[in-house]
Chains A and B, each alone.
Chain A
């Protein structure tokens, strides 16, 4: 039975959640069944992602011809180490968020809307996984829009009416970003006549001097930059993360920007090639400047936020800065650090946002003043939040330390010791904003809301602590993450698609 499906795993990676989404609508009246089905579907996706990663590590790149049409003409799904790694992050987070959403999602949704929430989650997962596994440039755009459209819907389901305006703002900026990507892909098609990424990579060196190619690259970087919240294109992110429903925030914050970073890496290194991006065009310098601005301003603004979800959202802008900084070096260690931080940031941000969801479940607020004294009333949730915060700061024995370590290493290798200092300064700013929450939670006397709260339900605490323990496990045992990230970075810099 397993052998029948083994060849189709790349397609099934996308098809499984895609088929689940409409089934959610058919069974919409029984949201518990819908939830069970979606959980099963994400676990299946995770199993597929693990199996694909094993195959890729053992036998090398997997190429799958959609519908049996051979590569440059048909749509190809192409999975190498980096894809499989990103797919593992996305499906892994989804598998933990879904059980968590059982209590979190129905909190302020009407009974008949809960199934729609899960349907949107599945569509979002489909889009993100599609972007990850596809080897076709136009397919990237289509899946990008599938994930974006479902994300707008998810964000607008938040309790506060500001969720609506946040979703609208994201829709306008996201659509401009998506259309820029479409334009960029169109220009690439004009100069090469192909949409297959591997084929593009082969043909583009013949036309390196054309201005069309340079324009295409600019459109792609700005378009993808909007999606990954590259400073100063991050304006949609704080409100979207702050007002989306808890489970949706966890999922979006941990996966959506990560997949956008993957797409950026794919276009810069595999399709366009580092020679053009870093040689003919000043991508490295621009990315480095924006990364530093992003990581400093994001951390700095986070310090002054009164809404803790918003604070964590600004911290995400800063973390994107770290990831971009690693990419801007264009060295194996730099890209490896970025790929590591993709994984590690997904872990720490999902831990923090999950803890926030638990607080919100009891407090119905994510404002700092309502957090006073919560550490003694919800000790398990608060301990998880502190662990996530330590990981965000980059304390040894957590995942945050590993990626910061490699990032500083990459900076020093390139002789950028000022940047290494700035990375550490960013960590110090993180200490300040995490400390504000810890101080309120542990040392202040309970607020009115906190006094009425009690510990979060087990079905939310267990997923939360699984993520927290993963934060520690992958901070100690780095064989999987560092090993895979190194292989992926070498493949990227080596130029082999």
Chain B
């Protein structure tokens, strides 16, 4: 039953691959960014999962506690979440500008107007 015990890692891998697939396969720029966000989120889950210490409790000094979970990955991932939010914000504002300039957010229609994309 080892497969099920590591289910959060499997979810992370599934999310990463699904997000990556959406980025590659979708032509709609907004959907691409949704996929990219999923891809980033999967890494957050991976980091948080590795902070778990078997039998550990919350990292606050409690009487009788023997071991504590590792809080550092959570702190790291807070930073990464901020980065992810910033990336999404920049991407969405770029999409607004692209929509103003091209009148569409579909990759192949943009490509038809300009050969550069």
Residues of A within 8 A of B (CB): 138, 141-142, 145, 149, 152-153, 156, 161-162, 164-169, 171-172, 175-176, 178-179, 182-183, 186, 189-190, 195, 239, 243
Contacts and interface: CB of A to CB of B under 8 A. Distances in A.
Contacts of A190: 50
B90 interface: yes
Given A164-B98, A165-B98, A172-B36, 19 more contacts: A142-B79, A145-B87, A149-B90, A152-B90, A156-B97, A161-B98, A161-B101, A161-B102, A161-B114, A168-B29, A168-B91, A171-B87, A171-B91, A171-B94, A175-B87, A176-B39, A179-B39, A186-B73, A190-B50
Contacts of B36: 172, 175-176
A156 B23 CA distance: 20
A156 B87 contact: no
Contacts of B94: 152, 156, 164, 167-168, 171
13 contacts: A138-B79, A141-B83, A145-B86, A149-B86, A153-B90, A156-B94, A172-B32, A172-B91, A175-B87, A176-B36, A183-B43, A186-B50, A186-B73
Contacts of A243: 116
Contacts of A141: 80, 83
B47 interface: yes
Contacts of A152: 90, 94
Contact of B87 (A149, A165, A239): A149
Nearest to B87: A175
B58 interface: no
Given A172-B23, A186-B46, A189-B50, A164 B101 contact: yes
Given A161-B101, A179-B40, A145 B116 contact: no
Contacts of B23: 172, 176
B17 interface: no
Contacts of B95: 168
B110 interface: yes
A171 B80 contact: no
Interface in B53-76: 73, 76
B117 interface: yes
Contacts of B101: 161, 164
A162 B40 contact: no
Interface residues of B, number: 30
Contacts of B79: 138, 142
Contacts, number: 77
Interface hub of B29, B87, B94, B116 (most chain A Cβ within 10 A): B116
Contacts of B73: 186, 189
Contacts of B114: 161-162, 165
Contacts of A156: 94, 97
Nearest to B33: A172
Contact of B43 (A138, A182, A239): A182
Contacts of A183: 43, 46
Contacts of A195: 76
A353 B63 CA distance: 65
A145 B83 contact: yes
Contacts of B102: 161
Contacts of A145: 83, 86-87
B97 A182 contact: no
Nearest to A168: B94
B23 to A, nearest CB: 6
Given A153-B90, A168-B94, A190-B50, A175 B40 contact: yes
A3 B90 CA distance: 41
Contacts of A168: 29, 91, 94-95, 98
Contacts of A172: 23, 32, 36, 91
Given A141-B80, A165-B116, A172-B23, A179 B43 contact: yes
Contacts of A176: 20, 23, 36, 39
Interface in B12-53: 20, 23, 29, 32, 36, 39-40, 43, 46-47, 50
Nearest to A173: B23
Given A156-B94, A168-B94, A190-B50, A138 B76 contact: yes
Contact of A142 (B40, B83, B97): B83
B43 A186 contact: yes
A69 to B, nearest CB: 13
Contacts of B46: 183, 186
A171 B23 CA distance: 12
A344 B97 CA distance: 37
A186 B44 CA distance: 10
- Ranked nearest first, the 8 interchain pairs of A and B with the lowest CB-CB distance are A161-B101, A165-B117, A145-B83, A162-B116, A164-B98, A168-B94, A164-B97, A190-B50
Nearest to A139: B79
Contacts of A169: 117
A183 B80 CA distance: 11
